[in-house]
Amino acid sequence: MTRVVIAAGEPSGDRHAGHLITELRNRLPNLSVFGMGGDASRAAGMECWVDIKGMAVIGLIEVLKHYRSIRRALQAMKRGIETCRPDILILVDYVEFNLQLASHAKSLGIRVLFYISPQVWAWRSGRAARIRRSVDAMAVLFPFEVEFYKNAGIPVRYVGNPLVDDFERSGGRQYWYPLRDALAREERRFCIGLLPGSRDSEIDRHLDLMLQTAARLRKRLDAPRFVLALAPNLSSEDVVRRRCVEEGVEVVEGGADEVFRSAHAILSSSGTATLEAGLHAVPMAVIYKTSRLTYLILKRLILIPNIALVNIVHGRSIVSEFIQGDANPAALSEHLDSLLKVSDERISMTEALKSTRDKLGEPGGSVRVAQMAIELLNGGLKSETPTSAEAN
């Protein structure tokens, strides 16, 4: 029997972990999977030691507020690994937590594969040494990450982005979908999608801002429709629903795909959702808000000019980013109003976003990660290990 422990700490990672578990089961019939995850991981057959609901937080202050629950989860995972002694530990994103778990696993002689790499190329590049000590191999989503990890002496393989699989699985880009069909029947002019984020801390920072922006847009537009994508595993789910009902905003469950296919424009928190919107070539504005202390610290550490993943992947500013104080209802409503009109800005943004699919590689990311895990189980990724010259 092969024992695998997987640790995913937030909804997007849980979704990718679920696909990975399915691929591993296709290749390892006598497989037992344990660890930390949510609905997707459980549906794929994981025995969950830790449920991720309410665990996804971002920002230094936010992490401190949830320190006790995060610490309890880490201790539970460590105890589980000590008892289970898995053949391999697979970490999915959730960087600080998972790097601590990786160190513990390595001290027990357990192989470690990190899937969806820490974005150390964007800021704390000094963390590479810690990764080299704790991780046997990295499975990265973007081609430009390979050189960074090779130069740091860390075995690495580019596997492609699992969002491409989700995109292809759902039928690719379409411009007519049930929600938009209903929109046409109701003779409403515009549909605006709202994606506040998948973490409770993001809801705290973004929900009211988005609802206030929607209120301003109602004064500018002819009976617009607002649709909010509700992420799974939110402990604040009831609060989100109540606030949306109060403000006349519809809620879509089970993922944001229908919003991406139906919206004429999107207001999104930074992160994976911007890439998903890019795959559907939907014009968007991106926001990022955190505590003042976290922002002041990160501002000094971040090394790249953009924070929205869709801009990072394209290597230039395609969509506008509204950060901290710049993310306010007046500025956002004005910008979205301009994006909804037939304008040069909307046309150029849409055309640029249509190339997002080509920049994310081929489908089959989950398959390639499963293959990496099996190679590690069979002795390692010798062909992927950088030479001493490449590491220096």
Residues 180 and 144 in one domain: no
Q: How confident is the model at residue 175 (pLDDT cuts 50, 70, 90)?
A: very low
Residues 121 and 224 in one domain: no
Q: Tell me the residue range of the domain where 241 lies.
A: 171-359
In a domain, 264, yes or no: yes
pLDDT-above-70 percentage for the chain? 84
Q: Taking 70 as the threshold, does the pLDDT of residue 371 lie above it?
A: yes
What letter represents residue 331's amino acid?
A
**Mean pLDDT across the stretch 236-261?**
88
Beta bridge partners of 90: 6, 113
Residues 122, 32, single domain; the answer is yes
Q: pLDDT exceeding 90 applies to what percent of the chain?
A: 53
pLDDT at 290: 80
Q: Check whether residue 141 and residue 42 sit in a common domain.
A: yes
Radius of gyration of the chain (CA): 21
Report the distance separating Cα 211 and Cα 96, nearest Å: 32
- Examine the domain organization and report whether 224 and 355 are in the same domain: yes
Average pLDDT, the chain: 85
91 and 144 assigned to the same domain: yes
Instruction: Clarify whether residues 352 and 375 are in a common domain.
Output: no
User: Is residue 135 domain-shared with residue 192, that is, in the same domain?
Assistant: no
Q: Is residue 82 part of a domain?
A: yes
Identify whether 166 is part of a domain. no
Report yes or no on 165 lying in a domain: no
- Total tally of structural domains belonging to the chain: 2
How high is the pLDDT of residue 23? 96
Whether 238 is in a domain gets the answer yes
Q: How far is CA 174 from the centre of its chain?
A: 22
In this structure, the answer to whether residues 237 and 125 fall within a common structural domain is: no
pLDDT category at 292 given cuts 50, 70, 90 is confident
User: At residue 33, what is the residue type?
Assistant: V
Task: With cut-offs at 50, 70 and 90, classify the pLDDT of residue 28.
Answer: very high
Q: What is the CATH number of the domain that holds 78?
A: 3.40.50.2000
* Residue 383 confidence (pLDDT): 47
Beginning with the edge strand found earlier in the chain, give each strand of the sheet holding 265-269 in spatial order. Answer: 250-252, 225-229, 191-195, 265-269, 284-288, 320-323
Please compute the mean of the pLDDT values over residues 131-138 and round it to a whole number: 93
**Span 306-319, average pLDDT:** 90
Query: Does the pLDDT at position 196 exceed 80?
Result: yes
Per-residue confidence (pLDDT) for residue 38, from 0 to 100: 92
Q: 244 with 257, same domain? A: yes
* 210 domain residue, yes or no: yes
Instruction: Based on the fold, state whether residues 352 and 313 are members of the same structural domain.
Output: yes
- For 65-89, letters b (16+ CB in 10 Å) and e give ebeeebeebbeebeebbeebebbbb
- Looking at the structure, tell me whether residues 92 and 225 fall in a common domain: no
pLDDT of residue 387: 34
